[in-house]
Amino acid sequence: ETPVDPVSGDNIVLTIDTRLQNAAQNALISEMDYWNTYLGRIQSQNGAVIAMNPKTGEILALVSIPSYENNRMSREIPSYYYNQLNQDPLKPLFNHAISAEQPPGSVYKLAAAVGALNEKVITPDQEILCPGSITVVQKYSINDPGSELEYASYDRNGHGICNFIKGVSLSDDVYFYKIGGGYEDEVPNGGLGAWRLAEYSKALGYGQTSGIELPGESSGLVPDPTWKRINQSENWSVGDTYIDTIGQGYVLATPLQVLLSMATIANDGKHMKPTIIKEIQDANGNVVKSFEPQLLWDITKDPVISILDDNGNPTGESKVVETWAVQELQLGLREVVVSGTAKNPFADLSIPSAGKTGTAEYCDDVAQAKGLCITNSWPTHSWYVGYAPYDNPEIVVVAFVYNGGEGASVAAPIVEKVMATYFEMKANDVANGTSNW
């Protein structure tokens, strides 16, 4: 048989910037190490960081910790090493950036914020009382007499009177309880409600895979009354809407979904498909195929919000998100780093940015085994997602630290370091004449 000459394969050029990738990995590891040392115990050992260009969807860095030695996987994989990785409870073979489904906490509030404005549930200047907690009568049916339940804010002192900007910048839980699920005459008619909240969540990218060119991406969970009835055999209550609104309860999201939700707002409503592929080259370095930015939808132009009846059923009509609602949320997110929950970690960043902190209570199998699920004192994951520059975004970054604690204390400094590195890299490249920026 006549021998056939080998044909060289093509090469994939990634969008990943190795310098930013290293910086993101170092920022995540060093922050976890700092807190583990400071607390005198192993607090956090896994997390994720993703950086993306919000206008193109190009992934600039994607970090999942713990990981494994790539070189040991390049040829024959030692069985003992693979078994060691596979049995590790920290799941080093698991891509936490795209596969980990976790409660997002307050980073999820973007959906309720833009939804409540767009549905005219509130106005930006409307003043809402934000005490440390509110009490509501919980009912699961029309004939249920109900029982009083307290819903507390993370700050038991409350924040006084809140308008939209203040509610967002201080991440006031009571403010979001009220706009999400309604409260007496202050926010009547059940607020935004669970059904409409789900619509706006999905419009920002939650509850679905993104299509990134990586295996194992998870879709997360955007719950609604039908989901609860089917999966929990229980009716939905106003309390479910309250905790759903602040990213707790049944809500689950991946770090990539959190990133994409912020990128959509940063990009004036344009939801881009995330990609790790810049181009494909042949063996001689010639470009075989270039990957162009792919706009999946624009919430301000494409009617992606289904209009629902009072029972949550689609009417067959749909609507867009009005541009002013997106702009108002951008103002609130800017105020987060100016005077709000992320003021301190971003005080030294010279580039104006915007973002959102998140501190998400959780009680998974690991926490239960360690006896951490104490009533009214559950452990928390740390989240932060933000973008910069504020006026013309070039980069959006999310950081997630499992069992990390407060978002402002742990995740936010990671994002700040990644952003600072990005703009330092850009300045150096421009100065050296090697810039493709």
pLDDT tens sequence across 216-245: 999 999 999 999 999 999 999 999 999 999
Judging by beta carbons within 10 Å of its beta carbon (0-12, 13-18, 19+), is residue 287 exposed, middle or buried? exposed
381 and 404 in contact (C-beta within 8 Å)? yes
Asked whether the predicted pLDDT for residue 332 surpasses 70, the reply is yes
Q: Which residue has the higher pLDDT, 335 or 376?
A: 335
Asked whether the predicted pLDDT for residue 104 surpasses 90, the reply is yes
The strand order across the sheet containing 395-401 reads 59-65, 47-52, 395-401, 380-388, 354-361
CB atoms < 10 A from the CB of 405, how many? Answer: 18
Q: Check: pTM over 0.85? Answer yes or no.
A: yes
CA–CA gap between residue 50 and residue 398 (Å, rounded): 5
Half-sphere exposure of 2 (CA within 13 A, CB side): 2
Task: Please provide the size of the chain in residues.
Answer: 437
CA–CA gap between residue 94 and residue 214 (Å, rounded): 12
The mean pLDDT value for 341-348 works out to: 98
Please write the tens of the pLDDT for every residue from 155-212: 999 999 999 999 999 999 999 999 999 999 999 999 999 999 999 999 999 999 999 9
Task: Name the phi and psi angles at 325, rounded to 5.
Answer: -70, -40
Report which residue type is found at 323: T
At residue 75, the pLDDT reads 77
331-368 burial, b at 16+ Cβ within 10 Å, e below that, comes to: ebbbbbbeebbbeebbeebeeebbbbbbbbbbeeeebe
CA–CA gap between residue 133 and residue 150 (Å, rounded): 7
At residue 307, the pLDDT reads 97
CA–CA gap between residue 119 and residue 117 (Å, rounded): 6
At residue 437, the pLDDT reads 67
Any bridge partners for residue 52, and if so which?
A: 59, 396
Q: pLDDT above 70 covers what percent of the chain?
A: 99
The mean pLDDT value for 108-131 works out to: 98
Torsion of CA 329, 64, 243, 195, to 10 degrees: 70
Give the pLDDT band (50/70/90) at residue 141. low
Report which residue type is found at 223: P
Closest by CA to 104, choosing from 240, 239, 254, is 254
Please write the tens of the pLDDT for every residue from 257-292: 999 999 999 999 999 999 999 999 999 999 999 999
Q: Cis omega (within 30 of 0) on the bond before 389? A: yes
CA–CA gap between residue 103 and residue 404 (Å, rounded): 13
329 and 117 in contact (C-beta within 8 Å)? yes
CA–CA gap between residue 54 and residue 395 (Å, rounded): 6
Give the pLDDT band (50/70/90) at residue 140. low
Thinking of the domain 19-432, which architecture would CATH place it in?
Answer: 3-Layer(aba) Sandwich (3.40)
Lowest mean pLDDT across 47-61, 85-99, 153-167, 210-224: 85-99
CA–CA gap between residue 232 and residue 140 (Å, rounded): 13
Give the pLDDT band (50/70/90) at residue 125. very high
Considering the chain, what is the average pLDDT of its residues?
95
- 3-state per-residue secondary structure call for 192-216: CCHHHHHHHHHHCCCCCCCCCCCCC
Task: Give the H or E element holding residue 361.
Answer: strand 354-361
In the structure encoding, which two tokens stand for residue 142, read together?
């029309």
Rounded to a whole number of angstroms, the CA Rg of the chain reads 23
